[in-house]
Structure 1
Amino acid sequence: MEKKSVVSRQRLKRRARRMARRVLPFVASLFLATPLAAPIARTQAATPKIAVRRVAAPTPTKEALYDQRLRDVYQDLGLTQQGLRYEVFEKAMTGYLNLEDEGKLTNDKQFLTVVDFSLPSTEKRLWVLDLAAKQVKFHTLVAHGHNSGENMATNFSNENESNMSSLGFYVTKGEYTGKHGRSLKLQGVDEGYNTNALKRSVVMHGADYVSEDFIKQYGRLGRSLGCPALPMAEKDAIIEAVNGGTCLFFNGPDQQYSSKYLNEDIAIQRLLNDTQMI
């Protein structure tokens, strides 16, 4: 009886194994055919979608573009290292662009001469800028008028025989030979500040008292009768460079100075349209 029971159990095991071999492929095929959509759907439903809103960058204003381009020119010229303050350069460039817009400057040269009389005469305070070539052509000493002050120029006048310097914008005219040798006529264009320059014979010329040796001896430069006097060694080259319709700007500590040529709207339009300078 025990032997039959063992045999029966073995038969049952063999039948079970055969049945399993038949059923397992069918179950496996059913499992592989079943889509996994439900778990994926639950995962997507559990993760909220975050909407990304793109904010457009603000369009720069004309004023901002103008300031940036002026600063680029200032940087290209290396004027920080040359000692010309940006505030003075900005005023000089604004006037230059206004004069250019009025057709008062020559088309043959893009020269801007800046004199900063807020600096002492012992410092190099004249710059001749070649805007087309992005170069500082000259950086040198320059004298102020006898009655404008000692080492510092503090007084300015447009009156004849005042023996003072005059602030503002000028346009260079023609050359001539006078008592100081080769000289350059200057036309003042700022009403009330320098329009008597031609009558007063305020000209650019050389002088022996504009030198480092004079400074060592007297602690300042010599002074003129109102003319922007130059070092003798450089006056010919400077006059040659800036003659014939270029712009000069004489800056000073006079807080009351104003000019119609400091019209920023005109300067902005002119600079943004000037592809040669920038």
Structure 2
Amino acid sequence: MEKHENAPSIYALDFALDGYETLENTLDKQILTLIDFSLPSTERRLWIIDLVEEEIVLNTVVAHGRNSGNLMAEKFSNRPESYQSSLGFYKTGETYIGKHGYSLRLDGLEEGFNDQARSRAIVIHGADYAREEFAKVSGRLGRSLGCPAVPSELSKEVIDLIKDGSLLFIFADQEEYLQQSAFIQDRSTD
């Protein structure tokens, strides 16, 4: 992959690529979005990767759920009304106009981890609290109700790049998830 000033960790990227290899035949686009919630919300922890060109197309900050933690996302849930982020692999769906404007539906692909994404209305949308300027003032990004919210000025670009059948992976170094995901290989002995 082409060098990038803020490249994802090899650890998180390896898991994302494992899932992509497993799910490739079910996808409509050779685009991989990686969100690394093992990083603080003040860092650019969302990468959109063009797997054909092997390059990072976009890198930005992304918010996590309000009950997942403050600066760091530390707790995750698939439960409705938990206001927590959910880990795992998602297939991007269709766009719509909602209370946050132009938004993108997500379908969670992992039972027990994120398969409630549609019913929980976990979507990609823009938000003013998901901007680097907000983080500079408050010491962290604002938090969502569980959605991976992106800066409002980038939301249309992000959504248009990944909509309609690409793969999105939300990572955190959570042992339970890493051991139980059907889409990644156990690397605990690596």
* TM-score w.r.t. length of structure 1: 0.65
Q: Structure 2 residue aligned with 1:96, among 15, 20, 39? A: 20
5 Å-filtered alignment, 1:1-278, equals 76-78=1-3, 81-100=5-24, 103-106=25-28, 109-257=29-177, 258-263=180-185
User: Share of identical aligned residues, percent?
Assistant: 47
Contact 1:114 1:251 in 2 (8 A): yes
Which residue identity lines up with residue 141 of structure 1 in the other structure? V
Instruction: Work out which of the two has the higher radius of gyration on C-alpha atoms and give 1 or 2.
Output: 1
* Higher relative contact order (CA closer than 8 Å, sequence separation 6+): 2
The runs of at least 4 aligned residues of structure 1 exceeding 3 Å deviation read none
Which residue identity lines up with residue 230 of structure 1 in the other structure? V
User: Which structure 1 segments of 5+ residues have no match?
Assistant: 1-75, 265-278
Q: Give the CA deviation at 1:210.
A: 1.0
User: Which structure 2 segments of 5+ residues have no match?
Assistant: none
Q: Give the CA deviation at 1:182.
A: 0.3
Contact 1:157 1:164 in 2 (8 A): yes
> Comparing both structures, which one devotes a greater share of its residues to helix?
1
Residues 187-229 of structure 1: per-residue CA shift (max 9 Å, x gap): 0001110000000000000000011221121110000000000
Q: Give the CA deviation at 1:77.
A: 2.8
Q: Distance in 2 between matches of 1:222 and 1:97?
A: 33
What's the Cα RMSD here? 1.2
Which residue identity lines up with residue 89 of structure 1 in the other structure? L
CA change 1:263–1:104 in 2 (3 A) is: farther
Q: What is the aligned length?
A: 184
Q: Distance in 2 between matches of 1:218 and 1:85?
A: 26
Q: Give the CA deviation at 1:92.
A: 0.1
Q: Distance in 1 between matches of 2:184 and 2:171?
A: 13
> Comparing both structures, which one devotes a greater share of its residues to strand?
2
Residues 99-126 of structure 1: per-residue CA shift (max 9 Å, x gap): 11xx3201xx210000000000000000
Q: Distance in 2 between matches of 1:203 and 1:99?
A: 20
* TM-score w.r.t. length of structure 2: 0.94
Q: Distance in 2 between matches of 1:134 and 1:196?
A: 31
Q: Partner of 1:198: helix, strand, or coil?
A: helix
Q: Give the CA deviation at 1:251.
A: 0.3
Q: Distance in 2 between matches of 1:78 and 1:225?
A: 34
Q: Give the CA deviation at 1:263.
A: 4.9
